[in-house]
Amino acid sequence: MAGRKIVIDPVTRIEGHLGIEVEVAQGRVIDARSMGTLFRGFELILKGRDPRDAPHLTQRICGVCSASHGLAASYNLDNAFGVTPPDNARIIRNLVVGANYIHSHILHFYHLSALDYVRGPDTAPFIPRYKGDYRLPKDVNDACVAHYLEALKMRMLPHQMRALFAGKAPHHVGFVPGGVTQKPTVDKITGFLWRLRKVQDFINNTYVPDAMAIASAYSDYKKIGLGHKNLLAYGTFDLDSTGKNKLFKRGRYIGGKLLDVDAAKITEDVKYSWYEDKTSGKNPTEGVTEPQPHKPDAYSWVKAPRYDGLPYEVGPLARMWINGDYKQGISVIDRHITRALETQKIANALEGWLMQLKLNEPIWTECSVPESADGCGMVEAPRGALGHWVRIRNHKIENYQCVVPSTWNTSPRDDKGIRGPMEQALIDTPVADPDNPIEVLRVVRSFDPCLACAVHLIKPNGRMKKFRVV
């Protein structure tokens, strides 16, 4: 690196373990590297298990987007088992995942990213903080601090809404292949509804206005954090049992065109990731997770997913853009606005779905573990396109692969040396003071990165150490 190197490791106020390294010259970022610093071992843990364990084990990948892992695993197994869940089950899955989105987006806005723009009180946990251009008018800033506290309480409601239909959050037990385990009852429907109304009031009258206030005070960030401008969404929230009609459409956007998605064109490169080189470039149906922690030149535990060889940004902006709900731009601010607007859109949809539930109708279609089958479950998690793939042999999981949203967004360079979406978005970011690189963090947190997983290996002072987790 020729300019001044800035290393932010770990990045705080995100989920999981991320390091960011940028090179700054003439006050701008000229190169960037995104480093996932913990190994994700779940694909190995799943080998040899009963396939029906997958919705439960994969939820443990993360405490924030767990419902979506439960959904992807359920779709994956529905597909492998050759079963179509009844309408009640499809709707209950949507309600549970919708509640999880609301929780996740409120958490991200107020508790993970707002303090990049809102100056908190000069007391812990709001200090220490980077010096920066906190520029909200005092009354707006004070209101946002009050809403930070209110949002902590608000986040309970979607957790309770989810628990009504699936069991306690964050790792619920209510999704199974073929459907769900909880019947709809009048009590559950009314309990969901009054909480929804309360949280909708907060979304409409607090979250969305606060996001808009920050967008207007920091409008220069509409020109920062642009990235490759390729967007990808697998689509989610099925509106009927065909799998074709969804609240958010499947599609991708590249070079100004909206195009379709073919799962066969998804691959994961590992040239710069700590995995064996021979596993590079594989489609997830034949994906291999073979760690190589001593690989020279590698700098991340995150693989580099590509579609037809190219990086794609995933998340609320991709979903809203591909669905035709938003066209204003691709930037830091557009990511925050679309996350707020889609929270509103999902909350509005939940009440209609709730009213479609039919008491005393089935919640499960009978099915059993096949001797041999392959499956694929492609959905959207709060942070973007999420895919699970399974190969079942002898009634057991022979191979399980997850490609998660943050794998797309925080990926390192691919085998051709092309930067990942977040790395590219960092290029050209102005940095006023390299000792307080708040601008870099505004770009990073706009993606809502999540690198969560169990600890297997860490890298202190450049030397690998092995830990046994018991």
| Residues near ligand NFE (CB under 6 A) | 15, 62, 64-65, 68-69, 381-383, 386, 404-406, 450, 452
Using CB distances below 5 to 8 A depending on partner kind, what does residue 231 bind out of Mg ion, ligand NFE, none?
A: none
Is 441 among the residues that bind Mg ion (CB under 5 A)? no
Known catalytic residue at 62: yes
69 catalytic, yes or no?
yes
Closer to Mg ion by CB, 142 or 276: give it: 276
Q: Nearest approach, Cβ of 252 to Mg ion (angstroms)?
A: 20
| Cβ contact 59:171 at 8 Å | yes
Residue 382 touches which member of ligand NFE, Mg ion, none, C-beta under 5-8 Å by kind: ligand NFE
Closest distance to Mg ion from the beta carbon of 289 (Å): 6
Candidate list 104, 406, 411, 446, residue with the active-site label: 406
Nearest to ligand NFE of 76, 406 (CB atom)? 406
| Whether 450 is catalytic | yes
In whole angstroms, the minimum distance from the beta carbon of 274 to ligand NFE comes to 19
Exposed e or buried b per residue across 278-311, where buried means at least 16 C-beta atoms within 10 angstroms of its C-beta: ebbbbebbebebebeeebeebbbbbbbbbbeeeb
C-beta closer to Mg ion: residue 298 or 402: 402
The interface partner of residue 337, options being Mg ion, ligand NFE, none and the CB cut-off 5 to 8 Å by kind, is none
402 binds Mg ion (CB under 5 A): yes
- For Mg ion, the closer of residues 57 and 259 by Cβ is 57
Residues in the chain: 470
Q: What is the C-alpha separation between 187 and 99, in angstroms, rounded? A: 17
Kindly write out the interface string for residues 346-385 of this chain, putting x where it contacts Mg ion by CB under 5 A and - elsewhere: ----------------------------------------
453 catalytic per annotation:
yes
Is 383 one of the annotated active-site residues of the chain?
A: yes
Q: Tell whether residue 62 is a contact of Mg ion (CB under 5 A).
A: no
Has 15 been annotated as catalytic? yes
Whole-number minimum distance, CB 291 to ligand NFE, in Å? 19
Q: What is the nearest approach in angstroms of ligand NFE to the Cβ of residue 64?
A: 4
Which is nearer to ligand NFE, 1 or 454 (by Cβ)?
A: 454
Catalytic residue list contains 144: no
Question: Residue 86 or 375: which CB sits closer to ligand NFE?
Answer: 375
DSSP 372: E
Residue 24 binding: pick among Mg ion, ligand NFE, none (C-beta 5-8 Å cut-off by kind)? none
11 vs 64, which CB is nearer to ligand NFE? 64
Question: Which region among 88-96, 124-132, 214-222, 397-405 touches Mg ion (by CB under 5 A)?
Answer: 397-405
Taking CB within 5 to 8 Å according to partner kind, which of ligand NFE, Mg ion, none is near residue 15? ligand NFE
Query: Which one of 69, 228, 319, 391 is the catalytic residue?
Result: 69
Angle (nearest 5°) at CA 409 between 132 and 407: 130
Whether residue 269 contacts residue 304, with contact meaning beta carbons closer than 8 Å, is answered with yes
**Binding partner selected for residue 114 from Mg ion, ligand NFE, none, CB under the kind-specific 5 to 8 Å limit:** none
Amino acid identity, residue 151? A
Q: Which is nearer to ligand NFE, 94 or 406 (CB)?
A: 406
Q: C-beta of 43: minimal distance to Mg ion in Å? A: 6
Q: Is 376 a catalytic residue?
A: no
Total site size for Mg ion, rule CB under 5 A: 1
Q: Active site residue: 383, 388, 391, 419, which one?
A: 383
Active site residues: 15, 62, 65, 69, 383, 406, 450, 453
Positions in the binding site for Mg ion (CB under 5 A): 402
